[in-house]
Amino acid sequence: MSEIGRTALIGALPYARRYARALTGSQARGDAMVADALRAGLAPPAAVQEPVLAARVAFYGAIGRKAADLSLHDADDGALTTTQRMLLLLTSLEELDTPHAAIAVGLPAAAAAAEVEAARAHLRAGAVARVLIIEDEPIIAMDLQQLVENAGHEVVGIAASEDEAVAIAEAELPTLVLADVNLGAGGDGATAVARILATHRAPVIFVTAYPERLLTGQDLEPAFIITKPFEPTTLAVATYQAVTRGVHLDPV
């Protein structure tokens, strides 16, 4: 494979945008990294034959190199290294297997696996968040609460509707919002989040079966999106990344 075709690039683009945003904690910074990668050109990895997957890995590698160049610190204080953050996101949020994630970050597979294990062991020692859950299905909400609490965070409220979510946010001032998109009769989770963010600053993770609704490129879009169904580790990784705001980058 000597170059990445247009169809493969288009197929890989939403994944690249999601990854870059999660890594930087910012829609603007993440999208700027993806645009830079496109302008610079992407070299397809020889070890990956499937076109869209090859394009994804090439994107991930280019984004990761840019993030590493801009990182202002790299775990001198005991936090995760930039490479560990990237591997966690690639193997959880992006659902890559470890060998492909290793290609993206430029490590041998065995070394990447060791970094992933070390990073996962660190998650429980991460920053503690006060979490507002926006979810209209009671059983799913309880499952999310258990997962969040098992990751060491505090749930300050569970809202089943837009109005309830806004009221809880005003009263509790959460440091993280975990939101479904479709709230049934209760409205729209994205609208609830927009109302909350109009008066209160907090990172947001959307948990949805419809990620395409949040990646249209037309409106303000989230930095963190988890697609249902997901593994518990995926939520733990996204929560840690959202709370700690990822690598520290200069403003775009």
**Domain at 234, CATH number:** 3.40.50.2300
d(Cα 58, Cα 231) in Å, to the nearest integer? 25
Q: Give the total number of structural domains in the chain.
A: 2
Cβ-in-10-Å burial (0-12, 13-18, 19+) of 74 comes to: middle
Co-location of 153 and 50 in the same domain: no
CB 104 within 8 A of CB 60: yes
Of 83, 136, 92, 25, the residue nearest 236 (C-alpha): 92
- Give the range of the structural domain holding residue 170, as residue numbers without chain letter: 130-244
**pLDDT at position 120:** 83
Single residue among 123, 147, 168 that ends a domain in this structure: 123
CATH of the domain at 60: 1.20.140.160
Summarised one tens digit per residue, pLDDT across range 178-204 is 998 888 887 888 899 999 999 998 889
Co-location of 101 and 174 in the same domain: no
CB 96 within 8 A of CB 90: yes
Single residue among 100, 123, 146 that ends a domain in this structure: 123
Co-location of 98 and 141 in the same domain: no
Co-location of 152 and 52 in the same domain: no
Single residue among 90, 123, 156 that ends a domain in this structure: 123
Contacts of 91 (CB under 8 A, 6+ apart): 97, 98, 101, 116
Summarised one tens digit per residue, pLDDT across range 121-146 is 877 666 678 999 999 999 999 999 99
